[in-house]
Each structure stands twice: as structure tokens, then as C-alpha cells.
Amino acid sequence: MLKMYIDNEEVVCKNLLEIKEEMLSTSSTILNNCYPKSWEETKDYVNNFYYPKDYSQCRIYNNDFLIFCGVVKNTGNISLNPRDPKYCSLEILDYKTFLSEGILLDFVIDNKTIYEAIEMVVDAVKDYGFVLGEVNINNDQDIIGAYNTQNKSAYDVLQYLADISGAKWYTTMVDENTIEINVADIEYLHTGPTIEYTKEFFEDYGIQDITFSYSTNDYRNRQEILSSQVFASIDYTEDMMSTGYSREFTTSTPIGVIKSITVNGVQATFGTEEDKELGLDVDFFYKPGEARFSSNDNNDIYAAGTQIEIIYTPLIQGRQVVSDADEISRINANTGRYGVVERYEDRNDVLSSEELLNIAQTYIKYKGKPEIILKVKSYLDYQTTVGTVVHFDAPIPELDQDYLVKSKTTQIYATGDNTYEVFYIYEMSSSFNAEKAVNWFDNQRNKTNGNISAGEYIIRNIDIEDSANIIWDNLTITEITVTGDNVLNAPLNAPFTQ
């Protein structure tokens, strides 16, 4: 028996009930024509109004097993016709919504391991009912650089931490008060029951239908990453003399990080322009990314001929190329033509060759072969969860592989009084890119709110602009004579009037 409660009041809905779960999106369900079950005693659906407030708690049980739990959002879709029933249509979002809607973080992750950083994020949102679940990643003890979480949601920071560790993160409902946050490398994701392509398996597990789609959208087998701001592998040492009238000194290449400055052989102090704005009093200031540094305005200008030596790590142009040789050969064999299908990015939001290489490798890993999407519709007998890996023993060799369960839709049909029929629809991806490219190259949410700063950019050349010549066959051109002044006859407030 299916039971639904909103703020501990049992409610019913007359139409199809669907619960949509996705790996990184907030799970949701729509309750159409929803009203308190108590109304069925009087059968008065016209004179009573039902409109629970936003953030009312909702839970759905099936034989005392929790199916879904969340909060009411976007309420108020109710007819005000005095002759119509005053049902309410509600959207229910699970508590995962608080990872993006809840408190904004305000701390710096500095000199912490990836595991410790994940702990810090989960601890910041524990009052919403989040707890740390499984963390199964190979590099969880790697130290990450300083990362400022100020004005970022927990969702954004978890995205960032998953990106730099090459892992996936997802949530699991424990009970109506608790949600686990899990992070795992692909090889450590849970596995679901294998799908066998046999008549017996379909009948035994209630598989109603399986369809697949084959997509080469944004497909490339060669990735080239360019950057104008990559740290050089060696430090530069440059000597210069003061002119006696200028505070500014020019270097041969843009400065990444200054290691030391000496004036006539004596060590000088230095800081960034941001340090200057904060009131730091040092001998020299510089702005990373610019080929110059300047002396303190509060100090005297160095006399002409003063020897100044600077040692710094410069920012130089970087380039990383990664190719998928097998896919290049496949394209070549299928077409008889050169098999490289290429994409490049010009970006300045990463500062090391290692990061450039990671971006290129990740692109090939996730987009270096066509993506296959399986859609499986089943009864109760075949069940798995979002974020699990499922193998399909398929009759077509290209389909015989592992798939990541990308989304799960639970369809509940009312078949009578207190009786329901339940179906599951799973969408599975062969590319393991279930969350719309939560990786280095395509996660726009992370780039806008995470590691992209003012003045930084990403330029992609995915497809060269297509153009074609139009050739007219048996074309006849007739010249039309204009009469009058050819002014558009239209009201005064219309466009294109004289």
C-alpha cells in the first residue's frame, strides 16, 4: 500500500506519480490533483482548498519502506473556479536541493588532502541532514592547493573536488532525516545486476522494453589544449638597472611567481598588487600574468644605475595534445580517409602543463568514442540505483559493455483503491558521463562559480563554421519596379517605420 504524507497529513493524488532521480540533479516528483485523504470521507472536493506551504515536508511510503522524501516547492497551482475541485499540483524536491540552495560556504581549503576537504564540505552542511558516506578514490590523500569556497554552494565545491580527483559524487537517502554524500572513482562504483539478452531474462525480471541510441555529438578522437599562461619548468633570472626616474621594471615574459628580488646584492621584499591593496608594505609589487613589477610608491626612486636582479617563474605558452589511436584507426578504416577528428581549446584558467594534460586526457576519456544510451523499462523485479555500473550482455558487439546508471524514473499508476502498479525506467550511459560532463572541459557551472576568475577565458573550436555555395539551376530573375516611396505602411509604434 502506497502512502504519502505532507507535514504528517496523509494525501493522495489521482494521476500518474513519477519520481525522477539523476546522479547530480536534485530528485523530484510531481503530485497532480493532490488533496488530503480525509476529504474522501465527505467527498467535498469543491469547498475545501488544499495548498501546503513551500518547504512543507513530504514522504512517500510503500509498505512502510521509504521511497522518497523531500520538501514541497512551487506550490499554488489551484483552480479558483467555484464549481471545480480545489486540488493542488505540487513539485517535491528531495533534500539534496539544500546542497545548492542552502548556506553558502565561507572558508579556505588550504594544505588539506582531498579526503579532508570533502569532510570540511560535508561538515558545513551537516545541519541539513547530510553525512559523509563512502569515499573510495585512489588519490584521496593527495594535497590540494589553496581553494577559496567563499560564496560557493556545497554543490559547487563538491563538483570541484570531484573534478580534481577524477571521481564521481552522488547522494544516497538513508532515511527521512539523513542523506549520505558519496565520492568514488569509476572502478569503485557499485555494480548492479547484469542485463542478459534472453527471452527468459526479460520474462523473469519483468523487462518490458530496452532501446538504445547511438550519439556522436561533440565526438572527437584528438584533443589539443593551448594556454598562454603556463608556469615554465625552469626559473628565469634577469638583471636590470634603475633609470633613476621610473618605478616600473619590465621583464622579458609575464611573471607567474617571483622567487626573489635583490637590490645591489641585498635581498628585497615583494608582494602582489592584491597585497598592496590590503596595505602590505614591501619594496616591490607585481601582478601575476604581467611582464612588469614596480617599486613601492612610498619609497624613494632607486638611483640611476642601481642593480636589480629578479628570479621568477614565468608564464609561457603551453600546449598538450592527446590522441586516441584506436578511434583514429577506426575512423580511417570506416571512411578510407585521414581518421583524426579534432577539437582544441585555448584557455588561461590553468597554470601548469600537468593540468593541461589532464584536461586533454579527460576529454578523450569521456568523449573519445561515441556514446551509447540504453533505456530500460522494467517492473519491480529488476531494480538498480542511480550511480551503479551495469553490464549488458548484448547481441551487438558495440553494445556489449558496462554502463553507468544515469537516471531512474519510478512510475506509479493507481489501479484501484489503495492498489498501484510500479514501473522503473533507467537511462544508462556507456561513456560514464552521466552528469552532463562533470569533468575538466565541460562543466560550465564549476567554471563560472569555481575556478574561473576575472580576465580568464576558455575558447573552444568544436566545429569549424560550415559554408556552401548555392548554385541555381534554370534561374530566371525578374526585376520589380518600386512604386511610391516604398515606406512600410504600419502604426507609429511598429518597427521599421520611417
Q: Which one-letter DSSP state was computed for residue 498? A: -
User: Same structural domain for residues 258 and 302?
Assistant: yes
The grid coordinates of residue 485 equal 516611396
Say if 457 falls within a structural domain. no
Nearest residue to 322 (alpha-carbon basis) of 367, 371, 364: 364
Which residues 6+ apart lie within 8 Å of 121 measured at CB? 105, 149, 154, 157, 158, 161
Return the CA Rg of the chain.
Answer: 31
Rounded CA separation 204/207 (Å):
8
Q: Residue 198 corresponds to which cell in the numbers above?
A: 534472453
Report pLDDT digits (tens) over 438-488. 343 444 333 444 455 666 767 766 554 444 566 667 777 777 665 666 555
Q: What is the pLDDT of residue 466?
A: 45
Q: How far is CA 389 from the centre of its chain?
A: 20
Within a domain: residue 485? no
Identify the burial level of 187 via C-beta atoms within 10 angstroms of its C-beta, where 0-12 means exposed, 13-18 middle and 19 or more buried: exposed
Looking at the structure, tell me whether residues 7 and 81 fall in a common domain: yes
Out of 271-280, 401-410, 425-434, least confident range: 425-434
Domain end marker among 400, 429, 458: 429
C-alpha cell at 48: 475545501
The three-state secondary structure class of 382 is coil
Would residue 258 be called left, alpha or beta, if left means φ above 0 and alpha means ψ between -120 and 50 degrees? beta
User: Does residue 295 sit in the same domain as residue 374?
Assistant: no
Whether residue 484 lies inside any domain: the answer is no
**Is residue 91 assigned to a domain?**
yes
Query: Within a domain: residue 86?
Result: yes
- Three-state SS at 105: strand
CB-based contacts of 202: which residues, under 8 Å, 6+ apart?
none
pLDDT tier, 216 (very low <50, low <70, confident <90, very high otherwise): confident
Quick one: 12 and 75 in the same domain? yes
pLDDT above 70: residue 434: no
Asked if 107 and 149 touch (Cβ cutoff 8 Å), the reply is: yes
Regarding beta strands 130-136 and 248-250, do their DSSP bridges make them parallel or antiparallel, or are they unpaired? unpaired
Q: Given this model, what pLDDT does residue 286 score?
A: 95
- CATH number of the domain residue 140 falls in: 3.55.50.10
Any domain includes 144: yes
pLDDT in tens, 156-211: 899 888 877 878 888 989 998 999 999 998 888 889 889 999 999 999 999 999 99
Q: Are residues 23 and 64 in the same domain?
A: yes
Question: Quick one: pLDDT band at residue 491, thresholds 50, 70, 90?
Answer: low
Say whether both 108 and 87 belong to one domain. Answer: no
The answer to whether position 451 is within a domain reads no
11 lies in the same domain as 80: yes
Our count of domains for the chain comes to 5
Q: Are 59 and 88 members of one domain?
A: yes
Going by the DSSP 8-state scheme, the letter that residue 450 receives in this structure is I
Q: Which of 208, 184, 201 has its CA nearest to residue 388?
A: 184
Q: Which residue has the higher pLDDT, 1 or 319?
A: 319
The answer, yes or no, to whether residue 429 has pLDDT greater than 80, is yes
Regarding whether 289 and 335 lie in a shared domain, the answer is no
The last residue of a domain, from among 397, 429, 461: 429
- Report how far residue 226's alpha carbon sits from residue 102's, in angstroms, rounded to the nearest whole number: 37
> What mean pLDDT is predicted for residues 320-326?
93
Owning domain of residue 400: 189-218+370-429
C-alpha cell at 2: 502506497
Assess contact for 180 and 174: CB atoms under 8 A: yes
Helix (H, G, I), strand (E, B) or coil at 3: strand
Phi-psi region of 432 (alpha: psi -120 to 50; beta: other; left: phi over 0): left
Give the pTM: 0.68
More confident residue, 442 or 255: 255
Q: Does residue 380 fall inside a structural domain?
A: yes
* CATH code assigned at 197: 2.30.300.10
Q: Which of 352, 368, 384 is the last residue of a domain?
A: 368
